[in-house]
Every structure is written in C-alpha cells, then in structure tokens.
Amino acid sequence: MANTESNMLPLGTKAPDFVLTDAVTNKIVALKDIRGEKGTVVMFICNHCPFVRHVNEELVRICNDYRVIGFGFVAINSNDIIKYPADSPLEMWRTAQKESYPFPYLFDETQEIAKAYDAACTPDFYLFDDDLKLVYRGQLDNSRPGNRIPVNGRDLREAMDNILNNNPQRKDQKPSIGCNIKWK
C-alpha cells in the first residue's frame, strides 16, 4: 500500500472546469452541473484503493449531510484502467451501487482533469467556495487503514462548516495520504 501525499494545490486557485462521463448514469457531467450554492467538493477516488475503501461510508454521510444545505459533490476516477481494470467504468458503477454514492462518479480517461487539479493520490479532496475558489485541500481526517482512529471526516467537515459560518479556514491544512493515482 503506497503512502502518497496530496500536492496541495495553492489556496485561491479557481476550480478547473471539466466535462466527463458519469459511470453510474452514463451522462455527461460538467463542473457547472454539480456546483453548489455554498461550495463544491471535488474528490479524486477509485475503486480498489484501501484508503478510499476505508472512508467510503463517511464520504456518503458527508455528502448526504451537506448537499441539502447547499454543497455540491463529485468524485472523479483518473486511474489507468489498462493496468488497473478494477477501476474501469463498469467497476465504478458497481462500487457506486454497492456504496450508495449520492454523488456523480466521473471517469477521467485522459487523466487531464487529475493533472489540472494537481491530484496525486486517492482519496484527494478539494473544497471550493461559492466563487469556485479553493479554500481547502487535503485530508478527510486523521484516520488511515489500520491506525485505529475512527473515520469522522473532521477536517473536511470543519472546512465546510467554516464556509457556512463565515469563519476563516485553518492555515495548517494537512495533505491527504493514499494510493498514488495510476498514471498512464
């Protein structure tokens, strides 16, 4: 299990646009389609990564808790499916069904979107404000497979709560740690 850290895209960066296919609905989804009134969460995940599997339930809980109050959510899989067929669109569909993903699960076949976001690992999280400016990037929380810390989404939840309450974001944002994106 590789331990790759986020690249930590500079705060204030405008959300890179995308137009990708949702592996669940087979529909085209753009950033404008998932943008939330209060903020937007872009997650880079995949099916086979033990770090993602470790947090899947919390990803669903967070989305269900915050989408009703104005946050948009999307997950993107940018892995090379030739070398990693477990991350193919069919397997994405199966994972989304099994986990009851309440967000679109998009396939970045060319890996251009992962490069635009400077994504490095799965999971990798980006929170943009209502102007699509990056206010948080990094870890979901301190839990990792095997470290016995409960998954609670603390860091991402706190960042979304800061948006809701007009509070400043933490300066000491910690990078996410996970499997590296499987580049072609």
Please give the domain boundaries of the chain with CATH numbers for all domains: 4-180 (3.40.30.10)
pTM for this predicted structure: 0.97
Tens of pLDDT, residue by residue over 19-50, are 999 999 999 999 999 999 999 999 999 999 99
Tens of pLDDT, residue by residue over 55-109, are 999 999 999 999 999 999 999 999 999 999 999 999 999 999 999 999 999 999 9
Tell me the backbone φ, ψ of residue 102, rounded to 5 degrees: -95, 10
Q: How far apart are CA 98 and CA 119, in angstroms?
A: 25
Burial of 146 (0-12, 13-18, 19+ CB in 10 A): exposed
125 neighbors 154 (Cβ within 8 angstroms): no
Through-space distance between the first and last CA atoms of the chain, rounded to whole angstroms:
19
